[in-house]
Amino acid sequence: MDVPLSLTELYALLLESYGKQGWWPVLSRSNEPGFDSRGYHPGIIKVSLDDSDRWEIAVGAILTQNTAWTNVEKALYGLSEGSLETPRAVLAASAETVALAIRPSGYYNQKALRLKSFVQFYQSLKGRVPTRDELLSLSGIGPETADSMLLYAWQRPFFVIDTYTIRILKRLGYTNDCFFQKQPSKRYEDVQLYITSKLNSPQKHMQYQEFHALLVRHAKEHCGAKARCETCPLEARCRKML
């Protein structure tokens, strides 16, 4: 049986199949050149972010927990319509007001409290980049959320590991690698280290952003919980470990 694709080959094949994804979307910049109506920016290789962009991305990383991005978009619009798009406004508002604005994202009462807690930390940064340990110490911020913030908001090279990544690697035949033999609670950092050790772009954070986005796109197009293999660009190399 063929060995699995190298991660470099996988990245190249997904990029050829789907094109640049332009993650993380920034809705507030949807009217700018290079950004589409949903804030994606596939035509911009390196996005220059300001503090308001970083705040929106960080908020989105919290809101996307346990829900689809389309619901997050509705919640972000809700914050904007309620004049709650700034850290100061979220901090000044009641938890109930914030929860009502983000209701489409689900678990809105819980997420409202997380946002109000996070905004105090965010303001304390005063423009500096947070450490991963600092983010992980916050209520409701796990590895995936912390790494999403660091990779997309602060453009630091932390590869985001999610359910899609694990599923695709399994189906491509990586299950013999040591990180899949460990308990799921220990798997995140092991998979992350494995991936980052195999990629060698000099512009790591941009490659990590694009690769993660492509894995999500592939999962949505073909590699869901139930595989949809017809026309899948990876079918010839997939071992279908469902």
* CATH number, domain containing residue 108: 1.10.340.30
Does one domain contain both 103 and 129? yes
Domain count, the chain: 2
DSSP character string of 16-84: HHH----PSP-GGGTTSTT--TTS--TT-SS----HHHHHHHHHHHHHTTTS-HHHHHHHHHHHHHTT-
Last residue of a domain, one of 105, 120, 153: 153
Q: Please give the C-alpha separations between residue 178 and each of 1, 186, 190, 208, in angstroms, as whole numbers.
A: 19, 11, 9, 22
- Cis preceding-peptide flag for 24 (omega within 30 of 0): yes
| Same structural domain, 55 and 122 | yes
| pLDDT per residue of the chain (242 residues) written in tens, 0 to 9 | 466 788 999 999 999 999 999 999 999 999 999 999 999 999 888 899 999 999 999 999 999 999 999 999 999 999 999 999 999 999 999 999 999 999 999 999 999 999 999 999 999 999 999 999 999 999 999 999 999 999 999 999 999 999 999 999 988 887 665 555 556 666 788 889 889 998 988 889 999 999 999 999 999 999 999 999 999 999 888 866 44
- 135 and 77 within one domain: yes
**pTM (two decimals):** 0.93
Residue ranges making up the domain that contains 180: 7-21+159-237
- Please report whether residue 77 resides in a domain: yes
Report which of 158, 156, 190, 185 is spatially closest to residue 174, judged by C-alpha positions.
Answer: 190
Where a domain ends, among 101, 125, 153?
A: 153
Which residue's structure tokens are 């993380």?
Answer: 24
Give the separation between CA 15 and CA 215, rounded to whole angstroms.
10
